[in-house]
Amino acid sequence: MPLLKDGTAVDDSWVAVTDGEPVPADRPAILPLERWKAERDALRGHNAPLGVRLASHEKVEDIAEDIDRLALIALDFPKFQDGRAYSSARLLRERHGFKGELRAVGNVLADQFLFMHRCGFDAFEVADPAKAALWDKVMAQFSVFYQPTGDGRRTILQQRHGGGR
């Protein structure tokens, strides 16, 4: 499955580890939340970077105390109508100060790239490689915004009055 970062398809060096599989010692690994919670102390001395995948029903607060130990957090979009990962992304970036890779996984649609990016996502697993080519077009659809977010763009109000970031 193609991985987009800044609109460019890149090789994914991360391994998604399922329950029962060993965590590779020499490669970055993404663990499901329950496995992370069960093994977090044992993984304290792990040499390679670690990440956690949160299902849409799982809470950001469950990993809040571990934010500094995680290099990646993957948030799942199980279906088009489930937008809980948008809220989780904003919480991770704005409230908890997560600076690592925030990856959108699951039902990631090209027409949502801009909105996902505005909420803090910086990596996207895309099922259809042809959709990756739409990045620039989708990201340029809107030039002004009313709502402030963590992507650093100034709102229209800030632009009009010279304030903000």
Q: What is the mean pLDDT of residues 141-155?
A: 71
Q: What is the 3-state secondary structure (H, E, C) of the chain?
A: CCEEECCEEECCCCEECCCCCCCCCCCCEEEEHHHHHHHCCCCCCCCCCEEEEECCCCCHHHCHHHHHHCCEEEEEECCCCCCHHHHHHHHHHHHCCCCCEEEEEECCCHHHHHHHHHHCCCEEECCCHHHHCCHHHHHCCCCCCCCCCCCCCCCHHHHHHCCCC
Percent of the chain with pLDDT over 90: 55
Which residue, among 66, 67, 124, 53, has the nearest Cα to 98 in the 3D structure?
Answer: 67
What would the mean pLDDT of 137-155 be, rounded to a whole number? 72
pLDDT grade, residue 165 (50/70/90)? low
Residue-wise pLDDT tens digits, 48-106: 999 999 999 999 999 999 999 999 999 999 988 888 999 999 999 999 999 999 999 99
Write down the pLDDT at residue 129.
78
* CATH classification at residue 108: 3.20.20
Domain that holds residue 119: 3-161
Into how many domains does the chain fold? 1
Instruction: Name the average pLDDT for the chain.
Output: 88
Q: Which pLDDT score, from 0 to 100, does residue 85 have?
A: 95
Least confident of 1-5, 26-30, 62-66: 1-5
Strands 50-54 and 15-16: unpaired
